Amino acid sequence: MEGPTVRRWFTVDARFDAELRASFGDDLEHAARGELGGWCASPRGALALIVLCDQIARNVHRGTARAFATDPIALHTTLLGLARGDHLALRVPERLFFLMPLMHSESLAVHDVARQEFGAVVAEAERSTPGMAGYAKGSLDYEDKHRVILARFGRYPHRNAALGRASTAEELEFLKQPGSSF
């Protein structure tokens, strides 16, 4: 699963952001107010809420604190879904998006879960969907990169400006490095 479809989600593209804002902006506001919890009644409904609150929010509110405002909803939905086994009803690419809030968390304890779950998806992809194994491994690699940054700083420095957090001198030096932001 490579190419334009995947890159679209992980590349800055003002036109795509505008499309998502027009298509899902109202849904995102409902989710932020806690009005879409019923979506969690099924694994794919939970996945939809996760994608809305975790991925689409980052596009719709790019560069602002609101990009991260629904992260707690996405993380709660992921953790609830993992406890219920919802992720096991999803295909490999869906599971990777289902797990994304774990990667985006600023809690190392959550990253312990993330490492385990992304590793399980890699193993599943190698067994059942070999064409997805490379993409799954790439997701695990990104989880590891996120964890290294979090272990070093206790937070993601690239969020500091949007969240109104003061950056340390070490964080500012880090942010000058290529690939320091996601």
Burial class (CB in 10 A: 0-12, 13-18, 19+), 127: exposed
Q: Domain count of the chain?
A: 2
pLDDT of residue 4: 45
Give long-range contacts, CB 8 A cutoff, 24+ apart: 148-152.
Answer: 149/174, 149/180, 150/106, 150/108, 150/111, 151/108
Assess if residue 81 is contained within a domain. Answer: no
pLDDT of residue 182: 77
pLDDT tens digits, one per residue of 86-139: 999 999 999 999 999 999 999 999 999 999 999 999 999 999 999 999 999 999
Q: Which domain holds residue 159?
A: 91-182
| % of the chain at pLDDT higher than 70 | 95
Do 128 and 181 share a structural domain? yes
Average of per-residue pLDDT across 143-150: 97
pLDDT of residue 63: 94
Please state, in angstroms and as integers, the Cα–Cα distance from residue 86 to each residue in 39, 43, 109, 155, following that order. 12, 5, 21, 28
Do 115 and 61 share a structural domain? no
pLDDT band at 181 (very low <50, low <70, confident <90, very high): confident
pLDDT band at 153 (very low <50, low <70, confident <90, very high): very high
Do 107 and 48 share a structural domain? no
Q: Are 135 and 1 in contact (CB under 8 A)?
A: yes
pLDDT tens digits, one per residue of 2-32: 444 556 666 778 999 999 999 999 999 999 9
Do 153 and 98 share a structural domain? yes
pLDDT tens digits, one per residue of 24-36: 999 999 999 999 9
The CATH number of residue 181's host domain is: 1.25.40.10
